[in-house]
């Protein structure tokens, strides 16, 4: 099955490109965003569902709003849900377009590995919680790369979980899955650093005005623990801490800008790693007009049909 992948850092315009491409080639969009799966997390995750209405046509989308905020969800769950979603796209005789910035999810779709639910190792976790980040990184780097190359180590908690998973997999090796095999065309949106900064700053202000703080407060009001919301990172982490009076509004905004810029850099690092691992990514300048981006993609797709 042919699969088009559109990836890129935050604020690069992935959703708009994916939906307009879907409009032109009879496609459906499958989200590769680890937070857009949750209901009630709309503004902070940038679902931008209005962008799925292109020239009056509603573009079908999948893997958005499929879990309640606070529910546990992992990469094995995503693989299963993706498999179900892409079969639905196939039944519609549409072209699947995988779009998002969660490199691990994209990598999991393309890798052919079946991930399994990894149980929590309470004893190991207690031991790791006593160590600082440098010690954890040292432990992580000593683990076999077969079990770590897809890991998200962006936070202290996720680094501990990555070690926990890799340690488990050493004793219980990967089971290769009978996953669908894709002929994937991967499109990457690259964006100038300064332009990315401008977009991130502008978008953050817009989201705050749209009610981002109220969105986080609503999650807390539903009884979702602060710890769980903080785990979702970025806006949800820092706004929760602000609501807990850990710092002022201005400090929160400043911290958010820095955190989102750093997140975008980590995304690009992961995509470069995918290239080193053998995935060919065709990069397009995100600052070029949308019609030129679409023409470049359609030209690339035609060349692959020859």
> Was 76 annotated as part of a binding site?
no
**47 annotated ligand-binding residue:** no
pLDDT at 113: 64
Could you tell me the pLDDT band of residue 146, with boundaries at 50, 70 and 90?
low
User: Is residue 9 annotated as involved in ligand binding?
Assistant: yes
Whole-angstrom CA distances from 149 to 64, 146, 159 are: 26, 6, 13
Annotated domain spans of the chain: 117-171, 194-260
Higher pLDDT, 116 or 187: 187
pLDDT digits (tens, 9 = 90+) for 204-235: 999 999 999 999 999 999 999 999 999 999 99
222 is in an annotated binding site: no
User: What is the pLDDT at residue 42?
Assistant: 97
Which of the residue ranges 78-92, 119-133, 173-187 would you say has the lowest mean pLDDT?
173-187
218 marked as binding residue = no
Give the Cβ contact number of residue 167 at 10 Å: 16
Virtual CA dihedral for 35, 78, 19, 100, nearest 10 degrees?
60
Proportion of the chain above pLDDT 70, given as a percent: 92
Nearest to 12 by CA among 293, 212, 255: 293
Instruction: Kindly report the average pLDDT of the chain as a whole number.
Output: 92
- Flag whether 8 is marked binding: yes
Higher pLDDT, 247 or 115: 247
DSSP category for residue 145: G
Q: What is the CATH number of domain 194-260?
A: 1.10.287
The two tokens of residue 268 are 């690009």
**Confidence (pTM):** 0.83
Exposure of 229 in the CB half-sphere (CA atoms within 13 A)? 27
| DSSP three-state, residue 92 | coil
Residue 243 scores a pLDDT above 90 = yes
CA distance 199 to 123: 44
What pLDDT digit, counting tens, does each position of 96-140 carry?
999 999 999 999 899 866 666 677 888 998 899 888 888 999 999
Q: Give 33-50 pLDDT, tens digit per residue.
A: 999 999 999 999 999 899
pLDDT over 90, % of the chain: 75
- Is 10 annotated to bind a ligand? Reply is yes
* pLDDT at 176 exceeding the cut of 50: no
Check if the beta carbon of residue 100 is closer than 8 Å to that of residue 31: yes
Q: What is the pLDDT of residue 111?
A: 82
Which of 30-39, 131-140, 148-157, 185-194 has the least mean pLDDT? 148-157
- Residue 79, pLDDT > 80, answer yes
Task: Label residue 177 by pLDDT band (50, 70, 90).
Answer: very low
Q: How confident is the model at residue 252 (pLDDT cuts 50, 70, 90)?
A: very high
Average pLDDT of the residues in 183-191: 96
> How sure is the predictor about 150, in pLDDT bands with cuts at 50, 70 and 90?
low
Q: Which of 103, 266, 108 is nearest to 188 (CA)?
A: 103
């Amino acid at each position: 099955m042919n699969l088009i992948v559109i990836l890129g850092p935050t604020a690069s315009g992935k959703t708009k490109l994916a939906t307009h491409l879907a409009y032109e080639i009879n496609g459906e969009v499958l989200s590769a965003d680890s937070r857009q799966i949750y209901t009630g997390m709309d503004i902070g995750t940038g679902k931008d569902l209005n962008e799925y209405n292109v020239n009056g046509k509603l573009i079908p989308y999948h893997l958005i709003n499929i879990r309640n905020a606070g529910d546990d969800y992992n990469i094995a769950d995503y693989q299963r849900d993706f498999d179900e979603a892409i079969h639905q796209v196939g039944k519609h005789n549409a072209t699947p377009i995988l779009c998002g910035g969660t490199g691990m999810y994209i990598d999991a779709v393309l890798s052919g590995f079946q991930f399994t639910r990894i149980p929590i190792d309470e004893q190991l976790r207690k031991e790791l919680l006593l160590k600082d980040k440098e010690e954890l990184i040292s432990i992580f780097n000593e683990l076999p790369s077969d079990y770590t190359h897809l890991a998200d180590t962006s936070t202290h908690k996720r680094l501990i979980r990555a070690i926990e998973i890799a340690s488990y997999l050493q004793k219980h090796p990967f089971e290769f899955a009978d996953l669908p095999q894709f002929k994937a065309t991967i499109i990457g949106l690259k964006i100038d650093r300064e332009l990315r900064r401008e977009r991130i700053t502008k978008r953050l202000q817009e989201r705050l005005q749209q009610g981002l703080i109220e969105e986080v407060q609503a999650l807390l009001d539903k009884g979702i623990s602060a710890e769980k919301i903080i785990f979702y990172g970025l806006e949800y982490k820092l706004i929760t801490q602000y609501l807990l009076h850990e710092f002022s509004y201005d400090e929160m905004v400043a911290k958010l800008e820095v955190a989102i810029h750093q997140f975008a850099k980590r995304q690009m690092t992961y995509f470069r790693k995918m290239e080193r691992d053998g995935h060919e990514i065709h990069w397009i300048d995100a600052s070029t007009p949308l019609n030129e981006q679409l023409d470049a993609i359609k030209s690339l797709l035609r060349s692959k049909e020859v």
